[in-house]
Structure 1
Amino acid sequence: ENSQIKEVYITAYRDAQGRYHRGIAITTQVERPSPFGQKSQTYIFGEQLPEAELNWLVEEIRAWLDVKSSDSSPSPEG
């Protein structure tokens, strides 16, 4: 199975105790289609970071993904 990162964004949620958290969500998608449709998994991390750092980190990850995807795919998308 070859999984790839599909989206990166800042998410907000409440935990079981009702506390409010913000974190970075990374959704990966498994390329091999399964009988149940495409399989995706979301990981959330960075809940302890201040908001400015969350924003910065999301931008860095997106930039890295852009570079990575343009490196690995010789054919232009679209």
Structure 2
Amino acid sequence: MPIIVDVDVDVDVMLARRKMPVGVLAERVGITPADLAVLKNGRAKAVRFSTRDALCAVLECQPGDLLRWVPEESDDEGV
């Protein structure tokens, strides 16, 4: 999957700067702490725009701060 929800390190840093516990972030975003853990661990297959919007609003950041693109490795080298 080339687009990765990259909230692990960035969110931890943002939370530390705001002195906000993870549970408070989950509550303000409107998701469970377990769902936030799935996002933070990179196991999410999809993230709703409303969740991304809420994360950005609560953390006062841009969507690009939470996403990154990684090119897929090709099995067909040189093709």
What is the TM-score normalised by the length of structure 2? 0.26
Q: Which has the higher contact order (CA 8 A, sep 6+)?
A: 2
Larger Rg: 1
Looking at secondary structure, tell me which structure has more helix per residue.
2
Looking at secondary structure, tell me which structure has more strand per residue.
1
